[in-house]
Amino acid sequence: MEIWAEMERMGCEELVFFQDGDSSMKAVVAIHNTKLGPSLGGCRMKSYLSQDEAVRDALRLAKGMTYKSAMAGLPFGGGKAVVLELPDPQKRAAGFRAFGRFLEKLNGAYVTGLDLGTTVADMDRIREETDYVTDTSGSLGAVGDLTAKMTAYGVFLAIREALALLAGSPADGPDRAGAAPAATPKTAAGTKAAADVTAADLNGITVAVQGAGKVGYFLCRYLHEAGAKLLAADVDALRLDRVVREFGAVPVWAERIHEAECDVFAPCAVGGILNDAAIPQLRCRLVAGAANNQLLQPRHGAALRERGILYAPDYVINAGGIIVTAAELDGRSAESAKRQVERIPATLRRVLAKAATSAIPPAEAADRLTEKILARGFCRE
C-alpha cells in the first residue's frame, strides 16, 4: 500500500502505528479530521488478513466517524483505533494498558471507546494509563448497554421515518425521499402497502436484520415492540437463537439474508454489504441499518437509486453511539443523549430532501451536507 496516497485519498490527518513488545500489542490509530474538535472513535480488535487491510479499515472507519459526528451536530472529529488481535489472551490486560500509555502521548487528539471485539474491561485497563477513553465501568456508555441501545434506537426511528416518507411518495415520478423512478421491488406477502405506513406504526412491516449482536438485538426489540415482522441472520447461532426466541424472528441463512423478500433490509453486521453482487439480489424498498460503511463504493448508492430502493445513509442514522459518547464527555445525562438521538429522523429528512431536489443518491446528498459543515468549521446550523 502507498500509505501517503491512501491517507490523501481518505483525507486523513494522521496515521499512527503502535507496538508493545512485552504484550505483543500492535495497533493503528487513524485521526481523520480534527477541524470540529478532538477525534472520537472506538477501539476495534479483530484478526486481519494483512497489515494493509487493517490500515484501510482504520482509515475508512475514521472518516466515517468524522462524517457521523459532523452530521449529528457534535463538536468532535473522527478517529478510529484498530488493534490486530492479541496472540496471547493472558497478555490482553497488559496490552491494553500499554495502549493507554500510547494514547496518553497523543495528548487528547484521539479519544477511544468500545467497538467490535473490545470490552468494558479493556477500556478500564486503558483508563489506568490515560483519561482519553470512554465506556469504562460505571460510565454513561457502559451502563445498561446504553451505547448499543441508542445506536439501535436511532436506526429504529430512521426506519419509521423513511417508511413514512415513502408512504407519501408519488408513484409516477421521483419520490421526495430521493429514490429514482423505477419498478418497486416486491415486498413480503402480507406486508402493508406503503400508503398504510405511518411514522408510529410498523404493524405488518417485514424487516430483515443482518446481524444479531448487541445493536442488532436491540433493533430487533424495538421493531418487535412496534409490531414489525422480523427475519434475522447471524453467524453466531446463540445470538440468532435469542432473537428467534424473544421476538419471534424467522431465522435465515447469514449468506442469504440480503435476498429475503421484505420491506426493509437492515444491515447490522459487516460493512461493504451493498455491492455489485448483493444489490441486484435485494428484494426490499428500504435499506436502513446500523453497520458502518455499508456501501462498498460510492457508486453503489447510485445503483440502489436506479433500482428504486431508498438508502438511509449509515452514518446519518447510526449516530446514537457517538452521541452517547459525546454526552459522557460533556457530563450530560442519558436522557439528554436520548433526546439528541431523537433528532436523527429530522436529519434524515434533510438529507433525503437534498437528494430529491438535487436528483442525487441519498449517500451523496449526506456527503455534500457534511462536507459543507466541515468547510464551515462548526457543527451547528
CATH classification of the domain holding 223: 3.40.50.720
State residue 143's pLDDT score. Answer: 82
Per-residue pLDDT of the chain (381 residues; tens, 9 = 90+): 899 999 999 999 999 999 999 999 999 999 999 999 999 999 999 889 899 999 999 999 999 999 999 999 999 999 999 998 777 889 999 999 999 999 999 999 999 999 989 999 999 999 999 999 999 999 988 888 899 999 999 999 999 999 999 998 433 333 444 444 333 434 443 445 444 454 447 998 999 999 999 999 999 999 999 999 999 999 999 999 999 999 999 999 999 999 999 999 999 998 899 999 999 999 999 999 999 999 999 999 999 999 999 999 999 999 999 999 999 999 999 999 999 999 999 999 999 999 999 999 999 999 999 999 999 876 554
CA distances, 286 to each of 161, 194, 307 (Å): 11, 11, 11
Beta bridge partners of 310: 286
Closest of 355, 301, 315 to residue 178, by C-alpha = 355
- Residue 294 and residue 246 share a domain: yes
Q: Domain check: are 48 and 195 in the same one?
A: no
Do 254 and 372 share a structural domain?
A: yes
**What pLDDT score does 380 carry?**
52
Q: What is the pLDDT of residue 42?
A: 94
Strands 310-311 and 77-84: unpaired
Cell of 362: 441519498
- Judge if 167 and 315 occupy the same domain: yes
Q: Could you tell me the sign of the dihedral formed by the alpha carbons of 361, 366, 369, 375, in that order?
A: negative
Count up the domains in the chain and report the number: 2
Q: Do 262 and 313 reside in the same domain of the chain?
A: yes
Domain that holds residue 323: 145-376
Q: Which residues are catalytic?
A: 80
Q: Are residues 336 and 224 in the same domain?
A: yes
> For the domain that residue 88 is a member of, what is the CATH number?
3.40.50.10860
